[in-house]
Amino acid sequence: MLNDFGAVIVAAGKGTRMGTRESKQYLALGGKPIIVHTLEVFSRIPWLQEIVLVTGPEDVSRCQSWVHEYGLDKVSAVIPGGSERQQSVYQGIKQISSEWVMIHDGVRPFVTLEEIESCRDAAIREGASVLGVPVKDTIKQVNGQGLITGTPDRQSLWAVQTPQAFRLSDLLSAHEAAAKEEFTGTDDAMLMERAGHSVIVVEGKYSNIKITTPEDLEYAAFLQKRKGEDKE
């Protein structure tokens, strides 16, 4: 099928900043693990063909049981990731058979269908896309001694989120080139940029938070409560 899409949900991190024994993606939010909320968002997308969940080797079996328990039928595979996020994404995209792939953080459960579809449409139009929001704060460049060395123009700065959408063949090539040269990027868009691809930013919402700290979890509980009230 032309322009068919798969998704890789990355949930293999330990999340030490949360300060909990349990990894952040498995903490409960509204009575369900965070990762389940994220998977449910993507499972409800009618045009999405397949979902690959990448998790820690020790968490594969419980994630498989959640997939069954919550009826997440679009999850085609639950696989162990690598020691770094980049390795985990690479393992995930190797399992995808669709022409296009979206990469999404397992701890971003508040992404909306509207944002995902905007990302999809921009990728098909431009070749690659990422979701992001304009930076609100003034950003300072600081050296090793803590002294300010520069103030970038805020109008040119965006905080990048996920999903990020790419043609699968392009992303595979970008990952393979990075691995060959032992280069580690901070996200998949960086690998694509490095491989010479243009990536367009699609404006998303500030509510598409990445839950990484206790404060994030508190805000997530508020967003979840508000989401429930909006449905009533």
Nearest-angstrom CA–CA distance, 38 and 9 = 8
Helix (H) or strand (E) holding 190: helix 188-194
Domain count, the chain: 1
The range of the structural domain enclosing residue 60 comes to 5-130+160-231
pTM of the model: 0.93
The tens digit of pLDDT for each residue in 134-168 reads 999 999 999 999 999 999 998 899 999 999 999 99
The tens digit of pLDDT for each residue in 189-202 reads 999 999 999 999 99
The residue that leads in pLDDT, 102 or 27, is 102
Residue 36, domain CATH: 3.90.550.10
- Within a domain: 147: no
What number of other Cβ atoms are within 10 A of residue 196's Cβ? 9
